[in-house]
């Protein structure tokens, strides 16, 4: 249920409603806006009728059901958009944010060359895989701890916050020691044990959509993270499986607009995985920004033909630099300040 407080409601009246929500067996989630305070009563309690009676409480102007199965993710509970701070970089604000780097960290030299180049081209965060989920057990699986150490060194050299994937519950603590943002890969979107563990971390989470997941399932995966206590979630559309075979995946642009309509969380796009075709990445990036994406995550490699993973969908350094020169400026002009943007 959603309890809407009057703009003139006192702190005592708000506290009374929160206490009553908790007495009824629900958890109270408070969202304070400029004009009103919204209290979301979330849970599976059976005393919903008692919550409806709160309409008679002082300071309450409305009590309505939450219509979506995802509660905390919904804009019904929090209308103001969430801005997620990742090492000083704000995702979901007024600026287009670009995350760039290699699919996997292959060596110190490869990572440092890439990190310095993407920084010079205007990237805001550095990506790089330390642990790689691969379809074949014989493919390169990542350098593990050594890669995390290289990423930490690259952050010191460039000032770019680091985004890297965590694949298992056992790796959460060690990856969180090195990374500024933890990525949940598409294959792990519904790894609920991992989501519950990540919900208790102090790091922002980049949640990729699964290749066969609906938008509803994607947002419910985010709900696990918020319900567990982590409000700093960024959604990532990375393409879904369809009947099309000319591209690796189908970049679902409509899902970006829909997710932003349904949820207050920031949404970015991954045109590298979404197309799997190097030449399509700039056009797909522009399309994602035009439909409302808050940023992009791009795979970049100094020599894509030598890449140990995802070479065909990686831009080289010159290609990334060229894309950045033509990509962001038109959309910065289009991204006029939104009055409802608030920090998480």
Q: What is the CATH number of the domain that holds 155?
A: 3.20.20.70
Three-state SS for 67? coil
Question: How far, CA to CA in Å, does 139 sit from each of 142, 307, 308?
Answer: 9, 12, 8
Q: Which of 15, 6, 23, 9 is nearest to 62 (CA)?
A: 6
| pLDDT of the chain, 344 residues: tens digit per residue | 888 888 888 899 899 999 988 888 888 888 887 778 888 888 766 677 788 888 888 998 888 887 788 889 998 888 889 999 999 999 999 899 999 999 999 999 999 999 999 999 999 999 999 987 666 665 666 788 999 999 999 999 999 999 999 999 999 999 999 999 999 999 999 999 999 999 999 999 999 999 999 999 999 999 999 999 999 999 999 999 999 999 999 999 999 999 999 999 999 999 999 999 999 999 999 999 999 999 999 999 999 999 998 899 999 999 999 999 988 555 444 444 444 444 44
- Same domain flag for 154 and 230: yes
What CATH code is carried by the domain that includes residue 33? 3.30.70.1140
Domain-embedded: residue 49: yes
Q: Model's pTM, two decimal places? A: 0.85
Please give the tally of structural domains in the chain.
Answer: 2
- Same domain flag for 31 and 152: no
- Same domain flag for 30 and 152: no
- Same domain flag for 100 and 58: no
Q: Which of 338, 263, 267 is nearest to 34 (CA)?
A: 338
Three-state SS for 132? coil
Domain-embedded: residue 24: yes
- Same domain flag for 188 and 162: yes
- Same domain flag for 48 and 123: no
Q: Which residue has the tokens 């702190």?
A: 11
Q: What are phi and psi of 44, to 5 degrees?
A: -110, 25
- Same domain flag for 170 and 253: yes
85 — alpha (psi -120 to 50), left (phi > 0) or beta? beta
Q: What is the pLDDT of residue 283?
A: 96
Three-state SS for 148? helix
pLDDT in tens, 277-310: 999 999 999 999 999 999 999 999 999 999 998 8
The secondary element (H helix, E strand) that includes residue 91 is: strand 89-91
- Same domain flag for 34 and 154: no
Domain coverage including residue 32? 2-64
Question: How far, CA to CA in Å, does 237 sit from each of 68, 214, 240, 241?
Answer: 20, 11, 8, 12
Domain-embedded: residue 316: yes
Q: How many CB atoms lie within 10 A of CB 78?
A: 24
Domain-embedded: residue 76: no
Pairing of strands 181-184, 205-208: parallel
Separation of alpha carbons 185 and 175, rounded Å: 14
- Same domain flag for 51 and 87: no
- Same domain flag for 182 and 48: no
Alpha carbon 310 to its chain's center: 22
Q: Which of 306, 300, 283 is nearest to 126 (CA)?
A: 300
Separation of alpha carbons 279 and 211, rounded Å: 22
- Same domain flag for 45 and 85: no
- Same domain flag for 241 and 305: yes
Separation of alpha carbons 299 and 310, rounded Å: 8
């Amino acid at each position: 249920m959603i309890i809407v407080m009057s703009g003139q409601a006192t702190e005592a009246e708000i506290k009374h409603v929160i206490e009553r929500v908790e007495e009824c067996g629900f958890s109270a989630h408070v969202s304070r806006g400029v004009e009103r305070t919204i209290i979301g009563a979330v849970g599976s309690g059976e005393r919903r009728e008692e919550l409806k009676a709160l309409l008679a409480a002082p300071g309450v102007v409305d009590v309505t059901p939450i219509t979506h199965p995802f509660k905390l993710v919904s804009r019904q509970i929090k209308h103001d958009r969430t801005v997620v701070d990742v090492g000083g970089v704000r995702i979901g604000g007024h600026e287009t944010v670009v995350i760039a780097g290699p699919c996997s960290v292959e060596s110190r030299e490869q990572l440092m060359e890439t990190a310095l180049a993407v920084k010079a081209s205007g990237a805001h965060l550095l990506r790089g895989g330390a642990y790689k989920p691969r379809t074949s057990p014989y493919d390169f699986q990542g350098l593990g701890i050594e890669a995390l150490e290289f990423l930490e060194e690259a952050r010191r050299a460039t000032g770019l916050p680091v985004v890297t994937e965590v694949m298992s519950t056992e790796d959460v603590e060690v990856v969180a020691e090195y990374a500024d943002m933890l990525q949940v890969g598409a294959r792990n979107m519904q790894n609920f044990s991992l989501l519950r563990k990540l919900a208790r971390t102090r790091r922002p989470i980049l949640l990729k959509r699964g290749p066969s997941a609906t938008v509803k399932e994607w947002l419910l995966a985010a709900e696990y993270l918020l319900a567990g206590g982590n409000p700093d979630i960024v959604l990532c559309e990375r393409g879904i499986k369809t009947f099309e075979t000319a591209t690796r995946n189908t970049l679902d642009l409509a899902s970006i607009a829909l997710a932003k309509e349904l949820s207050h969380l920031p949404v970015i796009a991954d045109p590298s995985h979404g197309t799997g075709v190097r030449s399509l990445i700039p056009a797909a990036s522009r399309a994602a920004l035009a439909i409302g994406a808050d940023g992009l995550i791009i795979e970049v490699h100094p020599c894509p033909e030598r890449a140990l993973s995802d070479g065909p969908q990686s831009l080289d350094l010159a290609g990334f630099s060229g894309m950045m020169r033509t990509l962001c400026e038109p959309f910065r002009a289009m991204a006029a300040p939104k009055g409802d943007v608030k920090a998480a």
